[in-house]
Amino acid sequence: MTRKMSSEEFEKLHEMYRSLYEELKLMPDKAQKSHGEERKRLVRTFDERHGEAEEVLQGMEEELRVAPPSYRNSMSTKLRMYRRDLGKLQRDMKNSAPGFGSSYNTVPGNHGIYSSQNQHSTHLQSQRALLLQGTDALNNASQSIERSQRIAAETEQIGTDIIEELGEQREQLDRSRNRLANTGENLSRSRKILRAMSRRLVTNKLLLGIIILMELAILGAVIYLKFFRK
């Protein structure tokens, strides 16, 4: 996590420095071709941008101190190259604008080319802190949105699975109800068959009783006629 945060912050500062450097490297030629107030304005702008670049490099040095050793070498190389480039630009500006670094020291209220560096440094640090806070808040919000979307997708999938399962259970219940209805019809038919069989059994018993009685009557009559009528 430390490696990731250090490298990301270093890259952010690197982009800020490149933007400032691209602006600074055009100023010596412009100052050489300009005169009077235009040249003074360019010198003041160079002074401000140069201070901003120095502040960015200080921030990169702070990131370098907490960076892992494997990443620190490449960061150190870039820092040395950037400071060398800044020094060269400052020398070019002095050559292009005579009096650069001295004439502005005599202006009342101005204490050198870096007179406003502390104030501007504080302002830049404040802006950078706000930028980092905004970036962190945006990253946190993005992660929260991603988590919410993932949870919503999972919830939707669970809901779909539940609906499908409920549909299958409904079909099973319908089949069970149909089987119960068929079973009820079969039971009704079975009861009817049993009642019919019961009636036939009673009828058969009655017929059997009548037949037995008739046979007994016939037997009694035969005995009477054979033995007692003589």
Chain centroid, CA 197 distance in Å: 74
In this prediction, residue 122 carries a pLDDT of 55
Say whether pLDDT at 132 is over 80.
Answer: no
Q: How is residue 10 written in tokens?
A: 């270093």
Question: Could you give the CA distance from residue 19 to residue 103 in angstroms, rounded to a whole number?
Answer: 28
Among the ranges given (5-14, 159-168, 171-180), the one the predictor scored with the smallest mean pLDDT: 5-14
Which residue type occupies 188? S
Instruction: Give the separation between CA 217 and CA 226, rounded to whole angstroms.
Output: 14
Closest CA to 20 of 107, 86, 109: 86
Q: What is the CA radius of gyration of the chain?
A: 54
C-alpha dist (Å) from residue 31 to 35, 100, 117, 139, 189: 7, 10, 21, 42, 113
> For a pLDDT cut of 90, what percent of the chain falls above it?
8
116 vs 216, higher pLDDT? 216
Mean predicted confidence (pLDDT) in 82-105: 73
Residue scoring higher pLDDT (137 or 155): 155
Average pLDDT over all residues of the chain: 79
- Write down the pLDDT at residue 120: 54
pLDDT digits (tens, 9 = 90+) for 207-220: 999 999 999 999 88
